[in-house]
């Protein structure tokens, strides 16, 4: 049984995944098998009403509030909501308290750093106005102005003054590329008004392998976004405070640690809080460009001679292409708005397109203005000071204007790094939903964030950052391949989409996306060839290995699904019907306060079998062989049984109920709607509510469990039973048992 429910939305930066049904759809043959199995159950299990009358509890305890009833809080991704049965909320991550001194110390540190585990909670969707969405979703793209132009110049300066003369035409070409890709993503927003990331678009239109390649490019991009943003931010800081230059690696790793802790706490991107650094950076760079152009106008826009530098390479096609590929990294993050369309206020797609237009316009102005100032002021890259810092020094001197520019640059770069923490776990979530990544990436942690994806991103980014000594320039060759691989596949997928759809204005949309795909492919090939020996080979290797591993994971899950499929002669049925006397007709009697108190006093003091009053609860995700075996085992004990299904949506709940009725409705069934995708929290809360209703009962939770042959496959399956044991251990008279199903 999965710990989380899957998402049907895009992996965008702008909102949490929306819950979607994950219950497998049964084909005609499986439906027929389900009916035949139900008939066999009917002969073995007896009258279904007898099982209902035997229930010693009332399973109708209430409901979780609907998503429309949830209101966001100011600085949190989640809000507290009432729980079923009116019981105190149950911790999502388990309630057990460590008994050892070291364990208690670790739990205390975890509590201080990450906060107390969130109990029953719901995702609060924040609809953003355009003025808020622009800075929040554009931080990654706009922040690249801090390192994109410098990456281009760092290649051209290898050819000395002659090479730097190509900076303006190359920058103009990159600006045109920004415009073309931006216009093409406007078409993506029109085609995917609910959010369309590169993985979704490529998979839907090109197939599974291109989709995996796009996902690999995105994941590489997000890891390097953290590493490059932190490295560039540290360069901005050390340009203003040179004494910190020797400590960039430990400081950068500490920053990644802060980002890790903050995202594990579930702090969302609060609009006003996160908008400020982006607007500050835009104001600072626009002011810098204005001051620089005003000063240049005083001497007739005559460029200042660049310092003499020794050429180590000649000017050639290869050098120009390398510079073009490096400078094109300024386009990273340009697809973020197309991912996050549902996060906008209505009309979502129209507001998203308007915001994208403003972002692309600002990006082109900031990029082109920065390169123009570099050309006019004769600035060249310096290992001791960034290009942007040199320009700010010339325009503002060492005063407030310079400090403000450097502080705004460092702030937006850190914000860009944090953006990856929203996108990276969601791509892994979508991959896990499609059985192409381990299902642990579906899991929500104690603070109901995608903790496993966040940890993987932090570890990978920290390793790369430390391996490259916190330097931006060596990371750029790795960066370009992943960014433009995702761009190319996404835009190519859109070309196929328009060709198939052929709706109104499809030719115009197809041309826009085809131009974007062609230009992105040119940059991808250029980066792969010119920077192959500088590190692009590693990015290509990572993409290939990722596709191989994801394919093998999907193959394993397909094998497991085939093994779990219903077969008429493989389904077990209980050997005997229920013989326990029923308490009385109708609903079970509610215990009095005295009976409850007596039950609590007795606790676990039963000494004979006659003193134990059992109730078996079978959480079941699907009517497959494993689920049927658990139901048969529970029914064979001839004690009251309650089946429990937790659905992420009303559609899934209706579908499961329909399958249950096709099977014959032989056992009592309770369906809990949990639109927040967690399984453990509502399951534990429901069981605790039953325990509070009848504290004299011994509740046995019977879990179907997949047992795999190879140790390496264990990570691909959720270990629900151990987590339930930890969560239920503080409660008396709760038993958790598993029914293994070997595959």
- Whole-model pTM over 0.85: no
Most confident of 40-54, 678-692, 723-737: 40-54
CA 20 from centroid of its chain's CA atoms: 15
Cα angle 169, 370, 520 (rounded to 5 degrees) comes to 50
Same domain, 266 and 368: yes
- Note the pLDDT tens digit of each residue in 452-499: 889 999 999 999 999 999 888 888 878 788 889 999 999 999 999 999
Where b means 16+ CB within 10 Å and e means fewer, 567-580 reads eeeebbbbeeebee
Helix axes 101-114, 248-264, angle to 10 degrees: 90
Q: Which residues contact 44 (CB under 8 A, 6 or more apart)?
A: 573, 574, 575, 576, 577
pLDDT exceeds 90 at position 36: no
The answer to whether the beta carbons of residues 332 and 140 sit under 8 Å apart is yes
Q: Residues of the chain with pLDDT > 90: what percent?
A: 26
pLDDT exceeds 70 at position 552: yes
Domain holding 468: CATH number? 1.20.1740.10
| 497 part of a folded domain | yes
Q: Which residues contact 475 (CB under 8 A, 6 or more apart)?
A: 224, 227, 228, 231, 464, 468, 535
Same domain, 443 and 372: yes
Element containing residue 164 per DSSP (H, E) = helix 160-164
pLDDT exceeds 90 at position 550: yes
pLDDT of residue 595: 53
pLDDT band at residue 160 using 50, 70 and 90 as cut-offs? confident
- Which has the minimum average pLDDT: 66-75, 135-144, 358-367? 66-75
Sign of torsion over alpha carbons 306, 172, 296, 138: negative
| 18 part of a folded domain | no
- Which has the minimum average pLDDT: 121-135, 248-262, 381-395, 528-542? 121-135
The answer to whether the beta carbons of residues 132 and 271 sit under 8 Å apart is yes
Domain around 727? 28-66+572-742
DSSP-assigned letter for residue 590: P
Same domain, 539 and 606: no
pLDDT band at residue 527 using 50, 70 and 90 as cut-offs? confident
pLDDT of residue 191: 86
pLDDT of residue 267: 55
Q: Where among 513, 531, 556 does a domain terminate?
A: 556
pLDDT exceeds 50 at position 87: no
Same domain, 360 and 426: yes
pLDDT of residue 458: 94
Domain holding 44: CATH number? 3.40.50.620
How far apart CA 572 and CA 44 sit, in angstroms, is 10
Same domain, 242 and 186: yes
pLDDT of residue 149: 92
Same domain, 498 and 576: no
| 78 part of a folded domain | no
**676 by DSSP, 3-state: which?**
coil
Q: What is the DSSP string of 633-664?
A: HHHHTTS-EEEEEEESSHHHHHHHHHHHHHHT
- Which has the minimum average pLDDT: 352-361, 516-525, 598-607? 598-607
The answer to whether the beta carbons of residues 645 and 656 sit under 8 Å apart is yes
Q: What is the mean pLDDT of residues 279-300?
A: 92
Q: What is the DSSP string of 105-119?
A: HHHHHHHHHH-SPP-
What is the chain's mean pLDDT, rounded?
Answer: 80
Q: Where among 556, 583, 618 does a domain terminate?
A: 556
Same domain, 392 and 366: yes
Same domain, 143 and 52: no
| 12 part of a folded domain | no
- Note the pLDDT tens digit of each residue in 333-369: 888 888 778 778 888 889 999 999 999 999 999 999 9
Same domain, 651 and 675: yes
pLDDT of residue 361: 95
Same domain, 627 and 722: yes
| 97 part of a folded domain | no
Q: Residues of the chain with pLDDT > 70: what percent?
A: 79
pLDDT of residue 94: 37
C-alpha distances (whole Å) from 84 to each of 65, 121, 124, 447, 600 are: 9, 12, 19, 20, 21
pLDDT band at residue 577 using 50, 70 and 90 as cut-offs? low
Q: Where among 532, 556, 580 does a domain terminate?
A: 556
pLDDT of residue 604: 59
How far apart CA 512 and CA 495 sit, in angstroms, is 9
Looking at the structure of the chain, the number of domains it has is: 2
Same domain, 156 and 304: yes
| 373 part of a folded domain | yes
Same domain, 217 and 150: yes
């Amino acid at each position: 049984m999965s710990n989380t429910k899957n998402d049907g939305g895009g992996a965008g930066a702008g909102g949490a995944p929306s819950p979607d049904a994950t219950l497998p759809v049964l084909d005609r043959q499986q439906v027929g098998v389900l009916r035949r199995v139900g008939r066999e159950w009917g002969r073995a299990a007896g009258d279904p009403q007898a099982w209902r009358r035997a229930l010693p509890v009332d399973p109708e305890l209430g409901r979780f509030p609907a998503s429309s009833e949830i209101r966001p809080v100011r600085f949190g991704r989640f809000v507290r909501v009432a729980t079923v049965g009116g019981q105190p909320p149950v911790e999502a991550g388990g309630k057990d308290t460590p008994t050892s001194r070291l364990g208690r110390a670790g739990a205390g540190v975890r509590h201080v750093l990450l906060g107390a585990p969130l109990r029953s909670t719901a995702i609060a969707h924040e609809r953003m106005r355009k003025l808020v969405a622009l800075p929040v979703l554009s931080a990654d793209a706009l922040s690249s102005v801090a390192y994109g132009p410098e990456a281009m110049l760092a290649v051209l300066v290898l050819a000395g003054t002659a090479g730097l003369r190509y900076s303006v035409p190359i920058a103009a070409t990159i600006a045109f590329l920004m415009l073309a890709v931006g216009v093409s993503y406007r078409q993506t927003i029109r085609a995917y008004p609910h959010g369309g990331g590169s993985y979704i678009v490529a998979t839907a239109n090109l197939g599974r392998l291109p989709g995996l390649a796009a996902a690999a490019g995105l994941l590489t991009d997000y890891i390097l976004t953290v590493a490059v943003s932190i490295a560039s931010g540290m360069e901005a800081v050390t340009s203003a405070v040179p004494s910190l230059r020797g400590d960039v690696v430990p400081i950068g790793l500490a920053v990644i640690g802060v980002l890790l802790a903050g995202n594990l706490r579930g702090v969302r991107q609060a609009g006003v809080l996160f908008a400020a650094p982006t607007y500050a950076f835009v104001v600072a760079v626009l002011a810098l460009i204005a001051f620089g152009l005003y000063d240049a106008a005083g001497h007739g826009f005559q460029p200042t001679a660049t310092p003499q530098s020794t050429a180590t390479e000649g000017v050639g096609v290869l050098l120009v292409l390398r510079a073009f590929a490096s400078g094109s990294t300024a386009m990273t993050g340009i697809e973020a708005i197309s991912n996050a369309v549902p996060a906008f206020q209505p009309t979502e797609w129209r507001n998203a397109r308007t915001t994208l237009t403003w972002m692309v316009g600002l990006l082109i102005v900031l990029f082109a203005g920065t390169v123009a100032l570099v050309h006019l002021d004769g600035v060249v890259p310096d290992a001791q000071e960034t290009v942007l810092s040199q320009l700010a020094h010339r325009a503002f001197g060492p005063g407030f204007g310079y400090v403000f520019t450097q502080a705004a640059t460092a702030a937006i770069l850190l914000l860009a790094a944090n953006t990856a923490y929203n996108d990276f776990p969601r791509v892994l979530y979508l991959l896990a939903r499609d059985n192409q990544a381990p299902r642990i990436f579906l899991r929500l942690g104690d603070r109901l964030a995608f903790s496993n994806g966040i940890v993987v991103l932090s570890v990978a980014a920290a390793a790369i950052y430390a391996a490259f000594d916190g330097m931006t320039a060596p990371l750029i060759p790795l960066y370009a391949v992943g960014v433009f691989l995702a761009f190319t596949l996404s835009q190519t997928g859109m070309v196929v989409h328009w060709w198939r759809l052929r709706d109104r204005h499809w030719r115009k949309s197809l041309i826009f996306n085809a131009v974007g795909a062609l230009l992105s492919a040119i940059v991808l090939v250029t980066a792969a060839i010119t920077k192959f020996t500088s590190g692009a080979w590693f990015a290509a290797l990572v993409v290939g290995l990722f596709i191989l591993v994801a394919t093998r994971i999907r193959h394993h899950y397909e094998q497991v699904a085939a093994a779990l499929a219903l077969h008429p002669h493989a389904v077990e049925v209980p050997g005997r019907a229920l013989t326990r006397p029923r308490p009385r007709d109708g609903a079970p009697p509610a215990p009095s306060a005295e009976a409850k108190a007596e039950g609590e006093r007795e606790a676990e003091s039963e000494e004979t079998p006659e003193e134990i009053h059992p109730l078996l609860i079978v959480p079941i995700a699907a009517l497959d062989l494993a689920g049927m075996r658990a139901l048969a085992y529970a029914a064979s004990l001839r004690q009251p049984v309650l089946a429990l299904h937790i659905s992420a949506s009303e559609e899934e709940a209706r579908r499961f109920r329909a399958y249950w009725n096709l099977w014959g409705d032989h056992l009592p069934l309770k369906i809990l709607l949990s639109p927040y995708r967690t399984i453990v929290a509502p399951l534990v809360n429901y069981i605790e509510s039953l325990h509070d209703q009848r504290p004299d009962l011994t509740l046995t939770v019977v879990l179907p469990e997949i047992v795999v042959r190879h140790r390496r496959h264990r990570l691909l399956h959720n270990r629900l039973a151990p987590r339930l044991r930890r969560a239920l251990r503080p409660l008396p008279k709760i038993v958790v048992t598993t029914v293994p199903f070997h595959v």
